[in-house]
Amino acid sequence: MQWFRFSALAGAVALSLAFGTALADSPTSFLDRFNAEARSAGEGPGNAARGQEFFNQTHGNEWKCAACHGAVPTGKAEHAVTHKIIEPMAPAFNAQRFTDPAKVDKWFRRNCKDVLARECTAREKADVLAWLISLK
């Protein structure tokens, strides 16, 4: 019976690794990932102060993260165009944030293209996530 449990766990881990996901992703695991990607690109790790500044300023376009998520994203906000309610971004205020790799990658890619007209760098992601994690 012990062997079966170990086999099932090993199989789950193997499947998880094959699909590029961890069994239990967390905001800090994503921050670690973005920091590692930033280091491999010759950039420093994420910085919460830079993340707050990035989140609240425009970057050559009219959009900024705060336009839809709020200047301090600890409560519900409303999308600037669709008026759809957006749940809090800060993980301490929304336990579902930054737990699903597919969603994290999808939304960073989409929102960075809206705000920057390009994808965010790993350091930019690390900066924003470091700030969001710091909000308590």
20 within some domain? no
Instruction: Concatenate the DSSP letters of all residues of 37-94 into one string.
Output: HHHHTT-----HHHHHHHHTS--SSS--HHHHH-SS-SS-EE-TTT--EE---SGGG-
**Number of structural domains the chain divides into:** 1
Mean local confidence (pLDDT), 120-127: 97
Percent of the chain predicted with pLDDT > 90: 77
91 within some domain? yes
Q: What is the mean pLDDT of the chain?
A: 86
Q: Which domain holds residue 44?
A: 26-134
What pLDDT, on a 0 to 100 scale, did the predictor assign at position 13? 44
16 within some domain? no
* CATH (domain of 76): 1.10.760.10
Each residue of 27-74: pLDDT tens digit?
999 999 999 999 999 999 999 999 999 999 999 888 899 999 999 999
84 within some domain? yes
pLDDT over 60 (residue 11)? no
